[in-house]
Amino acid sequence: MDRAAAKARLNQLWQRGRDFLGVEYAIMGGAMSWVSEHNLVAAISNGGGFGVIACGSMSPDLLAKEIAATRALTKKPFGVNLITMHPELAKLSDVCIGAGVGHVVLAGGLPASATISHLKDAGMKVLCFSPALPFAKRLARMGVDAIIIEGNEAGGHIGPVSTSVLAQEILPALPEVPVFVAGGIGRGEAVVGYLEMGASGVQMGTHFVCATESIAHPNFKHAFIRANARDAIPSIQLDPRFPVIPVRALANKATERFLERQQEVIAQYRDGKMDQKSAQLEIEHFWAGALRRAVIDGDVENGSVMAGQSVGMVTREQPCADIIAEIVDQAVAALMVRYRSEAAE
């Protein structure tokens, strides 16, 4: 198989994802708070992928401005990631509808049927994350247009199951909607593997942090470039009475202090100096503002440097278009090798 034939085969493999997103390459940008803003989102879309704005805790007015700023930089499709627990979710949804955004990604838990219906009735395509097959099937029955499965190799908030296991569990059993795979994807060979298993496309976050267009602080980018896969570790829970939502980030001084703080708070609770609710809040508040501290201010020792395990494959700063082109070239090369081997047998 020559390069042209391999490229055609790749297009065939992710055609469903390309059509669904309206893009050249079915590569979604992961929505990363403080990182996935208009500059990076537009650059991913302009590079042939699908950028996604991380709304996070934005107000409706701020989201409207962010969408407008993105549209000023690209004419290509892009989406918005909304957190289902946001107190103004309905208003944020209306902002997306009013701005004519084509795709909304709902994250952070099971969305209400009313939210899905409201967005779909306005002509929008709705994507949701699923941590397991029963959950994915339920979302499909609720009318979600596409599913994203994200394994615990990913950066930020993670579930307990690896990407490869989720893919094996969900892809063969959910043909009714497009499924995008995320978590630990850093090369085109992996993209091909998941596409051949039935994925419609992939989502990548960590790889875009060091894009030239990313506004992440140089210290934040440098931490990524020098890191190995084993440096990206999940946060640790010391006592089941005080649950900690696992977050994968690069180990640093803040990681050590978080363990120490848990020990201090648990000891105060045991000594009767603090009730359980107050102790839980103390633990949860430890990371307040920590991501912004690292991404924007560049304090990579005391902030939270959220990164997926694919961080070991991030070796330099480069434009989004080059990152995407490199992934596509690797995917095409993998297909060329595979079909040459099959032809020789």
pLDDT band for position 296 (50/70/90)? very high
**Would you state the pLDDT for residue 245?**
85
**Would you state the pLDDT for residue 121?**
97
C-alpha distances out from residue 318 to 37, 70, 209, 321, Å: 17, 20, 10, 8
User: Above 90 in pLDDT, residue 189?
Assistant: yes
pLDDT band for position 288 (50/70/90)? confident
The DSSP code sequence of 291-327 is: HHHHHTT--TTTS--B--GGGGG--S-B-HHHHHHHH
> Average pLDDT of 48-64?
97
Distance CA 199, CA 54 (A): 23
Chain mean pLDDT for the chain: 95
Tokens of 253: 């001084």
Domain 3-204+315-344 CATH (choose: 3.20.20.70, 3.40.50.1000, 3.40.50.720, 2.60.120.280): 3.20.20.70
pLDDT band for position 134 (50/70/90)? very high
In the chain, residues under CATH classification 3.20.20.70 are 3-204+315-344
Q: Write the pLDDT tens digit of every residue in 136-151.
A: 999 999 999 999 999 9
**Would you state the pLDDT for residue 338?**
77
> Average pLDDT of 30-55?
98
Which residue would you say has higher pLDDT here, 287 or 147?
147
